[in-house]
Amino acid sequence: MLTRREGPVRVMLVDDHAVVRAGYRRLLADEADLVVVAEHADADAAHAALLALPAGAVEVLVLDLSMPGRGGLDLLRRACLRWPALAVLVFSMHDSPAMVAQALQAGAAGYITKSSEPALLVQALRRVARGETGVLSSDIAGALRSAAAEPPQQVLSGREFDVLRGLVEGLTLDQIAERLHLSSKTVSNYQTQVRQRLGLATALDLLRYAQEHRLFLG
């Protein structure tokens, strides 16, 4: 378990919908042991804020995955590598086992869906703040249990999965390269690796695969 200082748990909210963030704040305002100390609408702004804040200023990051720019998964990876004591709770509308697996592999302490009861978010925040991991809403836990076999995309590297998502969104290689801050040649190499691993020969194959495994983030 993590050792933390006295006082309410300090939370940063990262979600690109202002109405959703306002709902978080109203919910947590009633909890004496939880306090929202910062909120951001995109991953880059949140990362910059974390860099500027003193160590320990934020204890739990409540993170959506579907955001403009580099996105929630990229922030999750960067945050868990740079601030291992920071607990990350994914709070997303997406319940794809592939997305959940990528988030947990990247270091998320928990993953709950936005269809969950509000009380579950509060409970999950407290649990990850105490240092618990594998904190899942019941629908996510059920989806993972019911998966007959591990989909191939779950064993892709983080960058390979990012490129797969870009391709699913219909982005060009240059657009994916700009988003990920990589060269177009590097992205092209990742695309080749992804297609070889998943056995996808054409763009239509990719579209069908994405629909089958619910990889659209919207």
For 176-194, the DSSP string reads HHHHHT--HHHHHHHHHHH
Q: How confident is the model at residue 85 (pLDDT cuts 50, 70, 90)?
A: very high
89-99 pLDDT, tens per residue? 999 988 877 77
Average pLDDT on 159-175 reads 87
Q: How confident is the model at residue 2 (pLDDT cuts 50, 70, 90)?
A: very low
pLDDT at 76 over 70: yes
Higher pLDDT, 143 or 167: 167
This prediction's pTM: 0.70
pLDDT (0 to 100) of residue 151: 57
pLDDT (0 to 100) of residue 1: 41
Q: Which domains can be identified in the chain, with CATH numbers?
A: 9-146 (3.40.50.2300), 152-212 (1.10.10.10)
Q: How confident is the model at residue 4 (pLDDT cuts 50, 70, 90)?
A: low
Strands of 135-136's sheet, edge to edge?
34-40, 9-14, 60-63, 87-92, 110-113, 135-136
